[in-house]
Structures are given as C-alpha cells and as structure tokens.
Amino acid sequence: MSESPLLEVSDLTIEYRRGIHRVTAVSDVNFTIRAGRTLGLVGESGSGKTTIGRAILGLVPISAGRILFDGQDVSADAHRRRRREPGQIRAIFQDPYSSLNPSLPVAVSVAEEVPRSRRVRSEAFARLSDLFDRVGLPRAVAASYPARLSGGQRQRVAIARALMSDPSLIICDEPVSALDVSVQAQVLNVLKDAQRANSLSYCFIGHDLDVVRYMSDWIVVLYRGRVLEDGPAQTVARRPRHPYTQALVAASPELDRPAQPRPVRDPRPEPPRGGGCPFAPRCGFAEDRCWVELPPVHPAADGGHVACHRYDAAADTTAGVLL
C-alpha cells in the first residue's frame, strides 16, 4: 500500500536520572515519518519534545521501545559513528549560537559538515556557494563571524550547515522560536524550499500550534511526555479532538476555529492518583475515571489517535469534515 517509513518510533520511553530519582520525560510515544514529509511535535514546555529529538539523534539513551531509522535501530553508539554520512540525521536548534563556533567564520563551520568522502576543497566550496544561494544568504556573509549576523541570518547558516551533508531527516527543534515574527516566515519558507528540492523529511518541534501546522503533514500533541492526540495536521489544528489540543488551539489566536466549550480550568492542587490521565488536573471535562485510569489510545478513522476516556470514535465526524 505505502512505502515503509523513514523513521519509526515505537513505544518510546525515556527516563532521566535526577540524583536518586528517575524522571520519566517520555512515555510510550509512537509515530512514523515518511520520506519527504514533516511530522510536527507540539506541546508546552517540559512535554518531552527536545528529549524525543535528542533520542532520534542518538544523544539520549532510550529506556524502552525503539527507534528505527531507514530500517536500522538507532542506538546511541551506532548512530554517532554515521552522523556525517549522507542520508543521515541532522539537527537545527532554536539558538544557532550553540551550534556555530563563535571564533570561526561561518563558512568554516558550514564546510566542516561535508562528508569525508567529499572533502575535496573545490567541490566543498562550490557546494557552499550553492547552499548559501539556496538559503538566501549573500555569499559575502561566508567570511563573517556568527556575532556579526542577524538572528535570521544565523538560522539560515544553521540550515545550510545541516543541508551540507545531504541528510534525509532534519530534527528542527524550535528553529524560529527565537526570531522576530517577520523573520520567522522567511526561515520557515527556506526550510520548505529545501524540503521540496531534496525530498527531505523533518521532525519539526514547536510550541506554537499555528507554526507547527504550517510546516507539518502530521501532528503529534505531547503533554508531560505522553501523546494525547495525533492526526493529520489540519485536523489536529482546526478540529482538535482532545481537550488539551482544544486548549492549545484556543491559545493560538490566528486560527479561525469553532468556539470550544471550557476545555481547561485552573488545575486542582493534587496530581492524578494511581496513574490517571496526566491532563486530568487541568481538564474541564474530567470525570472520576480520568483521575484513576490512564485513558486508552483510541484510533480515529483518519489514522489519528486520541488518548481520552471521553473520545468516541463512532461519533467522531471530524475525519469527514472538509477543512
């Protein structure tokens, strides 16, 4: 029916150790990314977005589940060895300062990403010039140091750097969150153009549902490390099925959307007891069972999922709604 996914994340659970305690940052997360497509990860601060991105990059050990990239298990060690080879996974972060060496002209940082097999100087230089054109950077910028560039220019350099080694997947972790709104759209469009030209896949991480919807084919909504809802981007952003996503949509003023009845309320002081829904303390619809039973993950007719006790797939007409 359809080709196998480029990236397959199954039952992913990640725990961090904090002193003698273990903090579960990600629980039972499932999604796939197909070649040339964008998967959006959205959720508030601390929901586990960066942790998932770092696990895909092989930078965080996995506690349970697995990540298959191009059919191969992504374990921290195996992956690190192959990082700069063509077709691999690269990353773009919110703050390009952290990935660009401040004491080197940006061209040097970008050229360092050329795969070993290609490191013939003239070829690298031609490729650098071509990439600067493609991300909309004047070639004169190549000799500049990162501090001399604007935030938007630095993020374009970071994109050029990520593209240099011909990756097939780029983890974009809040790549425009630190930029002025006027510059955000330009940088998002540079990413979109690069995707079209290279059949690239993105895992696009953001907290603004509107930005994530603009970039994504499929959206995964995270809350305290759990997937509360996923589905086609337009459905999740315009006809959210989970009360938490409804709250996110309500917080995103630019979307035209039907009014939603009281999806959130002030949190109750106590957390859910005995493994209830993580969102129960803030949910305006919470019933007794929501406090004690983790909701099942209900499949929706359009391939999405909703982890909510109140969701009734048979009564859901969302998938049939023309968006």
Ligand X SMILES: Nc1ncnc2c1ncn2[C@@H]1O[C@H](COP(=O)(O)OP(=O)(O)OP(=O)(O)O)[C@@H](O)[C@H]1O
Stretch that binds ligand X, among 48-56, 63-71, 99-107, 279-287 (CB under 6 A): 48-56
User: Per CB under 5 A, does 51 bind Mg ion?
Assistant: no
Nearer Cβ to ligand X (50/153): 50
User: Per CB under 5 A, does 94 bind Mg ion?
Assistant: no
Stretch that binds ligand X, among 44-52, 98-106, 178-186, 230-238 (CB under 6 A): 44-52
User: Per CB under 6 A, does 27 bind ligand X?
Assistant: no
User: Per CB under 6 A, does 120 bind ligand X?
Assistant: no
Stretch that binds ligand X, among 38-46, 241-249, 260-268, 291-299 (CB under 6 A): 38-46
Say if residue 313 is exposed, middle or buried (CB neighbours under 10 Å; 0-12, 13-18, 19+): middle
In the complex, minimum distance from the CB of residue 258 to ligand X, in angstroms, rounded to a whole number = 27
User: Per CB under 6 A, does 207 bind ligand X?
Assistant: yes
By beta carbon distance, the residue nearest Mg ion is: 50
In contact, 277 and 286? CB cutoff 8 Å? yes
Question: Is residue 31 within a helix (H) or strand (E), and if so which, with residue range?
Answer: strand 21-33
In contact, 188 and 202? CB cutoff 8 Å? no
In contact, 204 and 217? CB cutoff 8 Å? no
CA gap 94, 71 in Å, rounded = 29
Q: Which residue's structure tokens are 């981007």?
A: 233
User: Per CB under 6 A, does 25 bind ligand X?
Assistant: yes
Nearer Cβ to ligand X (51/168): 51
User: Per CB under 6 A, does 49 bind ligand X?
Assistant: yes
User: Per CB under 6 A, does 51 bind ligand X?
Assistant: yes
CA gap 256, 270 in Å, rounded = 34
CA gap 123, 136 in Å, rounded = 20
Stretch that binds ligand X, among 47-55, 112-120, 192-200, 266-274 (CB under 6 A): 47-55
What DSSP string runs through 206-219? ES-HHHHHHH-SEE
User: Per CB under 6 A, does 50 bind ligand X?
Assistant: yes
Work out the number of other CB atoms within 10 angstroms of the CB of residue 80.
Answer: 11
In contact, 26 and 52? CB cutoff 8 Å? yes
CA gap 192, 214 in Å, rounded = 10
Among 1, 3, 19, 45, binds ligand X (CB under 6 A): 45
Among 13, 16, 208, 260, binds ligand X (CB under 6 A): 16
Site residues (vs ligand X, CB under 6 A) = 16, 18, 23, 25, 43, 45-51, 207
Site residues (vs Mg ion, CB under 5 A) = 49-50
